[in-house]
Structure 1
Amino acid sequence: MRSLPTRRIAAVALAAATSVVVLACPAFAHVTVNPGSAEQGGYTAVDFRVPNESDTAGTVKLEINLPLDHPLASVRTLPLPGWTTTVEKSKLDKPIKVHGSDVNEAISKITWTADAGIKIAPGQFQEFRVSLGPLPTDTDTLTFKALQSYDNGDVVRWIDEAKDGQPEPAKPAPVLKLTKATGGDDHGVTAAPAAADSHGMGGGSTSSEASGSTAKSSDSTARVLGVVGIVVGVIGAAFGILGLRRKDGSAAS
């Protein structure tokens, strides 16, 4: 009779451990912008991190749509070996001023296409680096709708926008949060990175801006190890209780 409560405790512990894993894993499955925030008015370099979710197919194309309601005058991509980058420009309904000059068009889409024999294989991810700016000062988010294409013809549309008070959508669009500027010049605009000139738009970069990738990878590893540690701790506690119950039962007999 003593074994029933013990089994229930062990079952609850295992269920809790499973829940931790289930809740933690989806955070690594989405197409995301990293880092996830930047200062308004300045320039930044971000990675669009693309995990391969398929067990049988490889990712061979990524399309990122840039918001034209808050156009970015300077957009530069960092060359990625094995991938061909193309950009599309759109005429703006209303010109924007950048460094005293009118800008009448902006890049509206960036597409990375894998060369022959190249893909993001199952169990892998890839980062696509972009320099952006000046970031708008009249919004606190920029949404980049993304399309991820696989070599079996499947296309995953990461275009759903999150709404306040609602659960996260199944296929959320990558979002860059914008914070109030804390430094820079009198206009609140930080210096443009080497990848972006004063005029703004282009498809290539001569700056090696990928130094933050190792730190981001380490951060992801640390989070995974943290989740594993929690799971192991919960399971260990369950079996510890099970052992004590058995010991008490033996002593009582």
Structure 2
Amino acid sequence: MNVSRLAAAGAVAASAVLLLSGPAFAHVSVQPGQAEKGGYATISFKVPNERDNASTNKLEVTFPTDHPLASVMPQPVPGWQVEVTKAKLTKPLKVHGKEIKEAVSKVTWTGGKIAPGQFQQFPLSVGRLPEDADQLVFKSLQTYDNKEVVRWIEEPKEGGEEPQNPAPVLKLTEPTGEGHHGGASGGKADDTSDDKATSHKDDDHQKAAASDSTDTTARVLAGVGIAVGAAGVAFGVLAGRRRSS
């Protein structure tokens, strides 16, 4: 009896822990959580449904104005319509030598449905990512079909506890390899890559030619060796016949 009571108490405690910890991880987030500075990236906003009696039918993602992104292209999501809103910039951006006077300020998805117990991802291609920032914060609004709106707008503080309704955050890391600006510059980096590719091809051709030459030489030597061996065998047979006669 005591064991049964302990087991029941443990189950209740476990359920309470799950219930209390649920909101801590079931929130709108950006995937993957990081990207390289100065480049382009494909990110997705992961939206789980946290309600048992309503479906999510709208997502609004606000883009940072202190570090605007000149290029934001959504990938179609079946069943959903997407609207990209732009705003004029107080300080124009320069991308590929052109002056950009407006940038995306908000992206909104509507018309679809995320049922209870399900989640949906909304992919975007974004860039050029800033080089003078360590993160981008995308404040988001999640709307349910019962008119409830959950505001994921609280910015997490470094070293502090996670807010109750944290905003999606994209961490920006230092570039790890050469040519990471290739997508942004479209010039020098691409030319360098082409030169390297051509050089590699030339090396491959030279290696292939050397290999062919080596194979040919080996085949000739092998043929000569076989011929010499055959001649030796024939000579030995003839010599044996002369001795016996």
State the alpha-carbon separation in 1 of the partners of residues 103 and 153 from structure 2. Answer: 20
Deviations 1:145-194 (A, max 9, x none): 00011111110000000112321111000000000011242xx41436xx
SS class of match (1:160): coil
Residue 88 of structure 2 corresponds to which residue in structure 1? Answer: 91
Residue 33 of structure 1 corresponds to which residue in structure 2? Answer: 30
SS class of match (1:191): helix
Aligned residue runs from structure 1 range 21-170, under 5 A: 21=18, 25-114=22-111, 118-170=112-164
Distance verdict in 2 for CA 1:184–1:105, change over 3 Å: farther
Residue 189 of structure 1 corresponds to which residue in structure 2? Answer: 181
Residue 53 of structure 1: CA displacement?
0.7
Distance verdict in 2 for CA 1:17–1:98, change over 3 Å: same
Distance verdict in 2 for CA 1:20–1:150, change over 3 Å: closer
RMSD: 2.6
Residue 219 of structure 2 corresponds to which residue in structure 1? Answer: none
Residue 97 of structure 1: CA displacement?
1.2
Residue 179 of structure 1 corresponds to which residue in structure 2? Answer: 173
Which amino acid in 1 is paired with 2:173? T
State the alpha-carbon separation in 2 of the partners of residues 57 and 15 from structure 1. Answer: 26
Deviations 1:108-166 (A, max 9, x none): 0000011xxx4111111100000000100001100000001111111000000011232
State the alpha-carbon separation in 2 of the partners of residues 153 and 23 from structure 1. Answer: 24
- Contact 1:89–1:107 at 8 Å: present in 2 too? yes
State the alpha-carbon separation in 1 of the partners of residues 90 and 147 from structure 2. Answer: 35
Aligned residues: 186
Which amino acid in 1 is paired with 2:49? N
User: Identical aligned pairs, as a percentage?
Assistant: 57
- Contact 1:145–1:173 at 8 Å: present in 2 too? yes
TM-score, normalised to structure 2, is 0.68
State the alpha-carbon separation in 1 of the partners of residues 129 and 57 from structure 2. Answer: 29
Higher helix residue share: 2
SS class of match (1:67): coil
Deviations 1:44-70 (A, max 9, x none): 001100001111111110000011100
Residue 24 of structure 1: CA displacement?
5.9
State the alpha-carbon separation in 1 of the partners of residues 71 and 93 from structure 2. Answer: 12
- Contact 1:41–1:190 at 8 Å: present in 2 too? no
Residue 37 of structure 1: CA displacement?
0.4
Structure with higher Rg: it is 2
Unmatched tracts of structure 2, length 5 or more: 187-245
Unmatched tracts of structure 1, length 5 or more: 193-197, 199-253
Which amino acid in 1 is paired with 2:36? E
- Contact 1:45–1:131 at 8 Å: present in 2 too? yes
TM-score, normalised to structure 1, is 0.66
- Contact 1:43–1:190 at 8 Å: present in 2 too? no
State the alpha-carbon separation in 2 of the partners of residues 12 and 182 from structure 1. Answer: 51
